Structure 1
Amino acid sequence: MTQNSSAGSADNRHRVIPLVEQHEFFQQMLRRSPVSRRGVLRGSVSAAGASFLVGGSLVGSASASASASSSADDLTTTGTIAGGFVVNGRHLSFGPDPKRQMRVAGQLFDLNTYNAVPSGIKVEVEYGYEAGAYGHTVAAEIRQLVTHVPVWNGVPTGPVTASLTDLLRADQFYVHALIDCLEPGRTYHYRFVYTKHGERGHTPDATFTTAPDGRRFLSPFTFTAYGDQGITGAPGTGRTLDDAPSLQPEPSSHITDDYYNPSDPDYFDPASTTAPTDISPVAALVTQITRVRNPVNHTPSRFTLLAGDMCYANPSGNAQPIINPAGPGGNQPGDSNTPVPPPNSGGWDDYDPYVWTSYLTTIEPSSASIPWMFNTGNHDVELFTTSLDADAATVDAYGRLGYGGHASRIDMPANGPRSCPSVYSFTYGNVGVVSADANELSWEIQGLLGYSAGEQASWLRRRLGEFRHDPAIDFIVVFFHHCAFSTCDGHSSDGGVRKVLAPLLSEFEVDLAVQGHNHIYERSNPIKYDAATNTGSSSVQATSKSAHEAATVRPQTDGTTYITVGSGGRPRYSWSGAVETDRNFLTGVDTGAPGNGTTVTADPATSQGPSAAQLDFTREYETVDWSQARYSDYAFIALDVVPAAPDGTATMTVRAINEQGVEFDRVVFKRDVRGRGPYSL
């Protein structure tokens, strides 16, 4: 839309604001409502939203359509309230030493006034070997996240007017505690306890288990991974918790969660009189993760890797400042930043921080019991600047990279390079795990390109070298967002990510790279990287015919396998090749049907087929021979690790599992560890 400077209505409440005055108008709005870390504005969440937030995890019997006020009574069934406040959305993460440290976190908010300041409230974590007799207490830190920016309110059909602007006031509070000096390989009970004005509330009891102590007492274990999750579907009828009216991403961003169709096994027809038990792939996958068990000792998943794009509170995903002062359709900084809101949208711009509350509630059935280790994707960049009309407190809270919101909400080990908040590593048993920030390397989306000035790459080289030369580490898993190798038509591959990461993964014999970004599942053959052309080729055909005829890969000689598993719940992508189809043992890999092979052909003349994003924003089309397994639906992976057997071989089996809990791909990684001595089973 083109702005103009016409006078508009004589009524000042509807005065058209000329472009030259818009910036000052917004700044006046901010000055009239100052925000500081000591004195913050209060707002309220809708009753429907509040009941969803409560009902999602704390209230087993609460109706999704209950009011916020009546939800307080319902909460007493599984949790209690103090001064109107609750802690919800609990999520764990490993501390710097997963054997002896665990970080516990959640969101603290008032049921009746979401943005209420928790003054005079004390939050602690009780923990110990038994529920109800914890024996140990640690104080929790309360972190405040200020989000205070102008937004478009309504549907402007002409130049922006004063009556069509509003302020997004979100002041969110997150509680965090580091539990230290724990015993390796031990299960603990814990709960949050919060007191205010003599009232004492607490969350339900939950458990966590620390990592095992290196080579001693190491038993088989399982962990899980996927990316591009999002939250439960579009604002709904309230007939089920999954269909609850809730806080959703702004549909004006042209991204919608309401993308189900009758081909989905869990499709929900709104006209039906029978409510389904689950209509959301997001919730379904979280449920399936809670059901995962190690095939040998039947223990649950020990942690989850989330390969970026967590909840899509920022649906634009362009790694640019979020607010556009040029208005709907304006060109500062880009014409995609502020699309015209639809009728009755509530007036949100591209960024909705309340979506994080729904997200943490959605994952809580798993994240309250096992650590969720997060990686940053392009939709996780939440960037504001004062020149684009956010106030100074908001700009300070979110930081120069747009990662400051994550520092308030979630915990990461913080043991990576100083300039890279989401780059880190940890060890669990005989597996070394590394989180790499592909936002800093991406040629497709360049908003954060090169922000560390090479510090990330240098650190990755050192850390991968340390892992590979550590006799206690058998397998190395690196997870990141943008794909180094993928044939999906959504984003395909990223030449910048590939150029930095592929040679490092090859040099240090990294067993597995877990990628997100493309909303599909795709497993490559082990790839031999060619630095001269920045391409890769298959070393072996790792074909999986069934769960009993799994593919076998020996990374020491075969190379690195890349699995794209951005299939956590967002709209599904398709394949870039003209005749490519899904390829896995559910669809049949030996049918001989066109497009059912590992070679995917590109045609640069027609811009079809696999491609890699280039630094100049062009795409290099490439015919590839490594697309071994493909699945264009919702899925995650479970990784079953078995320490070295008497023959000196350690294994890590990757099982791909869909939202119905059905396995459709399997590959076994084998490492010869003779000479190191066997692990204790």
Structure 2
Amino acid sequence: MSRRRVLTGSGAAALAAGTASVGPLLWVPPASAAVRPGGVHLMYGKNPKHRMAVSWSTPAGVRRPRLELGLDRTYGLTVPAESRSTKDLGTVYHHVDLRRLRPGTRYHYRLSHKGASPVTGTFRTAPKVQRPFRFAAFGDMGVNAAAAAHVALIRRMRPKFAFVVGDLCYADTSGGTGVGGPQTQDFRVWDQWLNQIQPSAGHVPWMTTVGNHEMEEGNGELGYSGYLDRFQLPGNGVKGAPVTYSFVHGNVGFIALDGNDASYEISRNLDYLGSAQDQWLRRELAEMRSDPEIDFIVVGFHNCMYCTNLVHGSDGGNRSRWEPIFDRYSVDLVVNGHNHCYERTHPLRDGAPVIEAPRGAVIDSTRGTTYLTAGGAGQAVYPTGGRPISYVSIEGGVRVPETTEWSALTNEVHSVAFLDAVPRNKRGVAKLKLTALSTDGKVIDRLTLKRRR
């Protein structure tokens, strides 16, 4: 049956507004038909109400990789995948960018290729009207027992999506420094990580950003080619920086930045965008702040703007570039990773705390921006934070000591942050409730941000 016949048949009618769009197909040599799809992961498009990308991999090239989509297990719509090869591996990554989906709708999908047993799953688009929702926030995961336990924890907590702030799998352990050469690289780790997260990422989107470990030597000028081979990103970010994007879910606007473009500590990609990322950030924040439906703004990137941990400390490049912008547009929450720990600041303006926010506090987020380090998702923890004196990396990578009165709470255990967004009540007050959980589900921090319109 031709694709045209499938798209115009009764299955397409059942989907009503549901259609799909894909890029050009990349031909790859066929592999054994016994190979099943693996490493399944989802990402929202720029409009989560109407767009979802489904990605998966096979150990080698296959014939006719495709996705079937429907409102039930009869499916009805068949879409061929765009396939991409990658550096040093036989693995091929397949992507389908689904568009014009119905808001708030549960879809069934089936992934297959010629001669293979299919893999099935479901996903739900963002709702048309505002409702309470939960998302997970974390970085620095890797492939290990703690990371696998966190995938299980995320499934139990049932977030609508995960906001993952870089250093995903550590396939290149040089971390953007270039030290060590090819022996620091094992790109098979990418497939291990994608298979590890599939129990969650195959059903809810994992919205990822790049960290220093995504700057892989030999993978393009910026080192991002391997990352881009494996993810179908929203594509509405800075021109020349496809790793950046924004989206809105409910009453929260999300912005994913490339922290490597502003980092003084690890300067491999410093200033590769010139002023373009800052200009784009200002436009996005201005648009979000003018939208009456958006209460909270959450910005995510890898490098720490404020962290007492002595392994990486704080990055003055990100601070000097973006803190004035965050202050101007009253960003509510900034999520970072990089330091393998948990830490939260008091609300800050111009680098200084404006009010105290101990564990359990309820604060007016219009007073200042809260900076969250959520880098304890799996890699070995860094037990060197919470000190009254830490340091900030300034231009040239020089570490300058600084006092840390801005730090509200630190914890060195593995952990994941969960945030519950609550739309405005009858008094016009919206809430964003943070709960940080250790691997075994114990609460290590709580905080409630509130805003009134």
1:220 and 2:132 are equivalent in the alignment: yes
TM-score (norm: length of structure 1): 0.61
| Secondary structure class of the residue paired with 2:36 | strand
1:101 and 2:51 are equivalent in the alignment: yes
C-alpha distance in 2, partners of 1:352/1:665? Answer: 36
Deviations 1:400-444 (A, max 9, x none): 111111111112111011111211100101110000111010000
In structure 1, the partner of 2:141 is 229
Write the letter of the residue equivalent to 2:446.
R
C-alpha distance in 2, partners of 1:191/1:552? Answer: 44
Write the letter of the residue equivalent to 1:91.
H
| Secondary structure class of the residue paired with 1:629 | strand
Q: Is the 8 A contact 2:344 2:409 kept in 1?
A: yes
Of 618, 625, 630 in structure 1, the residue corresponding to residue 405 of structure 2 is: 625
C-alpha distance in 1, partners of 2:48/2:419? Answer: 18
Q: Is the 8 A contact 1:185 1:209 kept in 2?
A: yes
Aligned length: 428
1:426 and 2:291 are equivalent in the alignment: no
C-alpha distance in 2, partners of 1:572/1:617? Answer: 23
Q: Is the 8 A contact 2:346 2:353 kept in 1?
A: yes
1:291 and 2:160 are equivalent in the alignment: no
| Secondary structure class of the residue paired with 2:297 | strand
Q: Is the 8 A contact 2:70 2:109 kept in 1?
A: yes
In structure 2, the partner of 1:186 is 105
Displacement of 1:201 in angstroms is 2.4
Percent of pairs with identical residues? 37
In structure 1, the partner of 2:352 is 537
Of 175, 188, 204 in structure 1, the residue corresponding to residue 94 of structure 2 is: 175
In structure 1, the partner of 2:365 is 555
Displacement of 1:504 in angstroms is 1.0
In structure 2, the partner of 1:262 is none
Q: Is the 8 A contact 2:27 2:83 kept in 1?
A: no
Q: 1:462 to 1:39 in 2, by over 3 A?
A: closer
Write the letter of the residue equivalent to 2:117.
G
Pairwise mapping of residues 333-372 of structure 1 onto structure 2 (< 5 A)?
A: 336-338=179-181, 349-372=183-206
| Secondary structure class of the residue paired with 1:126 | strand
Q: 1:445 to 1:640 in 2, by over 3 A?
A: same
| Secondary structure class of the residue paired with 1:622 | strand
In structure 2, the partner of 1:239 is none
C-alpha distance in 2, partners of 1:432/1:505? Answer: 13
1:375 and 2:240 are equivalent in the alignment: no
Displacement of 1:569 in angstroms is 0.6
Deviations 1:358-378 (A, max 9, x none): 000010010000000111000
Q: 1:301 to 1:616 in 2, by over 3 A?
A: same
Deviations 1:284-329 (A, max 9, x none): 111000011xxxxxxx311101101000000010343xxxxxxxxx
Displacement of 1:220 in angstroms is 0.8
C-alpha distance in 1, partners of 2:202/2:313? Answer: 34
C-alpha distance in 2, partners of 1:102/1:460? Answer: 23
Q: Which segments of 5 or more consecutive residues in structure 1 lack a partner in the other structure? A: 1-36, 43-80, 110-115, 148-169, 233-279, 293-299, 321-335, 339-347, 385-397, 530-535, 545-549, 581-599, 603-609, 674-681
Displacement of 1:187 in angstroms is 1.1
C-alpha distance in 2, partners of 1:444/1:631? Answer: 23
Displacement of 1:574 in angstroms is 2.0
Q: Is the 8 A contact 2:162 2:206 kept in 1?
A: yes
| Secondary structure class of the residue paired with 1:501 | helix
| Secondary structure class of the residue paired with 2:344 | strand
Of 414, 417, 425 in structure 2, the residue corresponding to residue 637 of structure 1 is: 417
Of 435, 442, 447 in structure 2, the residue corresponding to residue 655 of structure 1 is: 435
Deviations 1:542-567 (A, max 9, x none): 112xxxxx2112121x2000000000
TM-score (norm: length of structure 2): 0.91
Of 140, 144, 165 in structure 2, the residue corresponding to residue 307 of structure 1 is: 165
Displacement of 1:475 in angstroms is 0.4
Write the letter of the residue equivalent to 2:94.
V
Of 110, 116, 124 in structure 2, the residue corresponding to residue 209 of structure 1 is: 124
1:601 and 2:388 are equivalent in the alignment: yes
Q: Which segments of 5 or more consecutive residues in structure 2 lack a partner in the other structure? A: 1-25
Write the letter of the residue equivalent to 1:231.
V
Higher strand proportion, which one?
Answer: 2
Of 395, 408, 411 in structure 2, the residue corresponding to residue 615 of structure 1 is: 395
Of 41, 63, 66 in structure 2, the residue corresponding to residue 124 of structure 1 is: 66
Q: Is the 8 A contact 2:36 2:112 kept in 1?
A: no
C-alpha distance in 2, partners of 1:290/1:569? Answer: 16
